[in-house]
Structures are given as structure tokens and as C-alpha cells.
């Protein structure tokens, strides 16, 4: 495939909040407009796409400045991204990218190492080393990417991350929590308020530090408490499609009392009902964006995800994702 080798090494860092949407652009301009947004928010990068495929390219990019960190939410047709020595030389700050794969899949290649992020995975890679991102063409991509200055991480973590990209969400103790925190960044961040967004970002960064730290620094009382909360979340996720699943069922499966389950979750700032609702909404979103389910009614998908009341499902979905289930399905169909 013939690739574009146009670069944007002279583009500057983004302002506090910006939006790029190609919906109002002509087909011949959409990819160039997207490249401008990518280069502005992520610092110099080289998006690449065969010119013939640019005619059907669509993208929405939203960038949020959160203290010293930049959150970029990207929805787009599949394409590849390259960052080489020229782009790195033009960047004013050395950063890590912490990416949560919300839809689709992405292969990250760096330092002769290759990892693939699937839906829900959280990965980290070095923005000061050349890399290639290859998004799988079977589905449109959606990613929440945090651009984090290296100085925010200690020497031990930086040393641990020096050998190439890592999939942090597969860490056995904290990986699931990190995945959930990363996915929370996609909950209408432009409307949730800067304080809430900042707190979620700090949670992601804290879990990243612990997940990426050398093994000897992981076994602490705090991490053991988080590990138990992780097990509770796993039980909730495994049973969330059951419409009758409740706190008592969860406690019975864990062999713990209802009160103790509530205490463990409360120590982590969580509640059983909120987690269960989030799991059901996430399941519904995955089903809605799967092209294999395009023939299913929205109500059928809601029931399959564990909801009893379709009206409640619609309200909760809009509150969580900022759009109706039907709107999400139509948006995904356009990007596919």
C-alpha cells in the first residue's frame, strides 16, 4: 500500500480544550484536517493512509488539558501512525502515552517489540522513541490517550518501561482496575467537570505507576486491598448479564458478608450498584458497536446486557456516554 509520508514536525502543543471533527469537511480535506488535529494535540506525529482510502475517512478528536497531562479522545476510521526521529526532535517535552483501547484494536511496535491492545486494554509506550501504531481494519478505532510528561514518573518506573511498550491492563492484580479507570475517561469528559476529570486521571496515573513498578514494590497492604476489590469486580463482571444478580449473590460467591463487600468497595471509593451499572452499560456499548449485532433491536441488546427496564437503560446510557444507544450505533456504522 502506498503510504503518505507527510509529517507535522513543526506543529505546536495544544491549547487547553479543542475539538476536531471531519463531519463538516469535504472528502479531500478530511484526512489533512485530522492530521492537523493529531499533530497539535499529540505533538508531532505522522498519520498515514492510502490516498484512495482518504475519500471515506471520518474522525472526531477531542483534547483536554488536565494539569500537566493532556487527554485526547480519538474516534476515527482505521489508519496507521508513525513517530520518527524528525518528529521526536521537534517535540518540546519527553512524554509517555497511556492508551486505553475503547473500540477496535491497535498494534504498537517500538524497540523491536510488538504488543496489541484489544478493547478495554491499557498500554503505555515511550513518546521519545520511534514507534508505529497499526489499527486493525476490521473495526473503527476509539482510544482515550493520556500524554504524560516523563518527569511525573520516578526512576524505577522509567527504567521498567525502557524496553518497549507494555500492556498494563493484563497485570494480574491491578490490571482490571486500570482498565476500568481508563474507560472512565470516555464518560463525556467535556461535561463531567474538570475536578472529576482530574481525579480520574490521577487514579489512572497511580495505577499505572503501581502496575509498571518492579515486582518487589507491588506487595503492599494498599495493593492487597485493591486486589480484593479487583476480585469483587471480576465477580460482578462475570454475572452482570444476569438481570437478578445482586449484592447478596456477589457476597455468597466471594464467601464474604454483604457488609464486608461494601466496606472493601467503600475503601476504594466505589459502590456495588455503580459498578454493576457500569458493567452492564459497557457490555451494551460493546454489543451495540459490534457489526455482527446490527440486526438486533436495542431492547434485545439491553436485556442481554442485564437490564430489565428499557427506559432506565436509555436514561443511564445517555448519562454515561452523552448519547443514546441508537446514536452510538449510527456513529459506529459511519466510521466502519
3-state secondary structure of 101: strand
pLDDT averaged over every residue in the chain: 84
> Does residue 193 share a domain with residue 90?
yes
Tens-place pLDDT, residues 58-113: 999 888 888 889 999 999 999 999 999 998 988 888 999 999 999 889 999 999 99
Q: Answer yes or no: is 41 within a domain.
A: no
> Does residue 230 share a domain with residue 167?
no
> Does residue 246 share a domain with residue 199?
no
- Look up the domain containing 82 and give its range: 69-217
Q: What is the pLDDT of residue 216?
A: 47
> Does residue 275 share a domain with residue 227?
yes
How many residues are present in the chain?
336
Kindly indicate the confidence band of residue 121, based on its pLDDT and cuts at 50, 70 and 90. Answer: very high
Residue 285, class by beta-carbon neighbours within 10 Å (0-12 exposed, 13-18 middle, 19+ buried)?
A: buried
Q: What is the pLDDT of residue 232?
A: 87
> Does residue 224 share a domain with residue 331?
yes
pTM higher than 0.85 for the full model?
A: no
Q: 121: domain CATH number?
A: 2.60.120.280
Q: What is the pLDDT of residue 14?
A: 37
Cα separation, 328 vs 282, in Å, equals 12
> Does residue 262 share a domain with residue 130?
no
Q: What is the pLDDT of residue 138?
A: 61
Q: What is the pLDDT of residue 280?
A: 94
Q: What is the pLDDT of residue 243?
A: 95
> Does residue 293 share a domain with residue 236?
yes
Which has more confidence, 213 or 79?
79
Q: What is the pLDDT of residue 7?
A: 44
Kindly indicate the confidence band of residue 5, based on its pLDDT and cuts at 50, 70 and 90. Answer: very low
State the alpha helices, DSSP H only, in 96-193. 155-160, 175-184, 189-192
Q: How many independent structural domains does the chain possess? A: 2
Please state, for a pLDDT cut of 90, what percent of the chain lies above it: 36
Q: Is the pLDDT of residue 4 over 70?
A: no
> Does residue 228 share a domain with residue 128?
no
Q: Which residues contact 139 (CB under 8 A, 6 or more apart)?
A: 78, 103, 104, 105, 289, 291, 336
Q: Answer yes or no: is 60 within a domain.
A: no
Structural contact between residues 117 and 123, judged by C-beta atoms closer than 8 angstroms: yes
Average pLDDT over residues 10-17: 44
Please state, for a pLDDT cut of 70, what percent of the chain lies above it: 87
Cα separation, 1 vs 48, in Å, equals 11
Q: Answer yes or no: is 31 within a domain.
A: no
Kindly indicate the confidence band of residue 219, based on its pLDDT and cuts at 50, 70 and 90. Answer: very low
Q: Is the pLDDT of residue 215 over 70?
A: no
Could you tell me whether strands 122-126 and 69-76 are parallel, antiparallel, or unpaired per DSSP bridges? Answer: unpaired
* Domain final position from 179, 199, 217: 217
Q: 234: domain CATH number?
A: 1.10.10.60
Least confident of 11-25, 85-99, 244-258: 11-25
Tens-place pLDDT, residues 68-82: 899 999 999 999 999
Least confident of 33-47, 85-99, 210-224: 210-224
> Does residue 209 share a domain with residue 75?
yes
Q: Is the pLDDT of residue 324 over 70?
A: yes
Give the angle subtended at the CA of 170 by the CAs of 169 and 175, to the nearest 5°: 45
DSSP 100: E
> Does residue 226 share a domain with residue 187?
no
Assigned C-alpha cell, 31: 484526512
Kindly indicate the confidence band of residue 15, based on its pLDDT and cuts at 50, 70 and 90. Answer: very low
Average pLDDT over residues 103-128: 93
Among 105-119, 138-152, 321-335, the range with the most confident prediction by mean pLDDT is: 105-119
> Does residue 304 share a domain with residue 198?
no
Q: Is the pLDDT of residue 167 over 80?
A: yes
Which has more confidence, 192 or 178?
178
Amino acid at each position: 500500500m502506498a503510504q503518505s509520508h507527510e509529517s507535522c514536525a513543526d506543529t505546536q502543543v495544544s491549547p487547553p480544550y479543542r475539538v476536531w471533527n471531519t463531519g463538516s469537511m469535504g472528502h479531500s480535506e478530511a484526512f489533512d484536517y485530522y492530521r492537523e488535529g493529531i499533530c497539535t494535540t499529540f505533538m508531532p506525529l505522522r498519520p498515514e493512509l492510502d490516498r484512495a482510502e482518504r475519500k471515506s475517512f471520518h474522525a472526531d478528536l477531542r483534547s483536554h488539558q488536565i494539569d500537566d497531562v493532556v487527554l485526547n479522545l480519538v474516534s476515527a476510521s482505521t489508519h496507521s501512525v508513525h513517530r520518527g526521529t524528525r518528529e521526536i526532535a521537534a517535540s518540546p517535552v519527553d512524554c509517555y502515552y497511556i492508551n486505553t483501547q475503547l473500540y477496535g484494536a491497535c498494534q504498537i511496535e517500538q524497540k523491536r517489540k510488538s504488543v496489541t491492545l484489544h478493547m478495554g486494554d491499557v498500554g503505555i509506550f515511550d513518546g521519545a522513541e520511534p514507534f508505529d501504531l497499526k489499527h486493525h481494519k476490521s473495526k473503527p478505532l476509539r482510544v482515550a490517550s493520556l500524554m504524560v510528561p516523563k518527569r511525573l514518573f520516578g526512576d524505577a518506573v522509567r527504567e521498567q518501561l525502557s524496553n518497549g511498550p507494555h500492556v498494563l491492563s493484563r497485570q494480574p492484580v491491578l490490571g482490571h482496575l486500570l482498565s476500568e479507570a481508563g474507560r472512565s475517561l470516555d464518560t463525556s469528559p467535556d461535561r463531567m467537570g474538570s475536578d472529576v476529570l482530574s481525579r480520574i486521571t490521577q487514579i489512572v496515573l497511580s495505577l499505572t505507576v503501581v502496575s509498571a513498578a518492579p515486582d518487589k514494590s507491588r506487595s503492599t497492604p494498599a495493593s492487597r486491598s485493591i486486589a480484593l476489590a479487583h476480585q469483587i469486580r471480576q465477580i460482578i463482571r462475570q454475572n452482570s448479564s444476569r438481570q437478578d444478580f445482586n449484592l447478596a449473590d456477589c457476597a455468597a460467591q466471594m464467601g464474604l458478608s454483604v457488609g464486608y463487600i461494601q466496606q472493601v468497595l467503600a475503601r476504594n471509593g466505589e459502590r456495588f450498584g455503580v459498578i454493576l451499572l457500569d458493567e452492564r452499560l459497557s457490555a451494551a456499548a460493546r454489543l451495540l458497536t459490534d457489526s455482527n449485532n446490527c440486526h438486533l433491536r436495542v431492547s434485545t441488546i439491553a436485556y442481554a446486557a442485564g437490564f430489565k427496564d428499557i427506559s432506565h437503560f436509555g436514561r443511564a446510557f445517555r448519562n454515561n456516554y452523552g448519547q443514546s444507544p441508537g446514536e452510538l450505533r449510527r456513529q459506529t456504522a459511519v466510521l466502519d
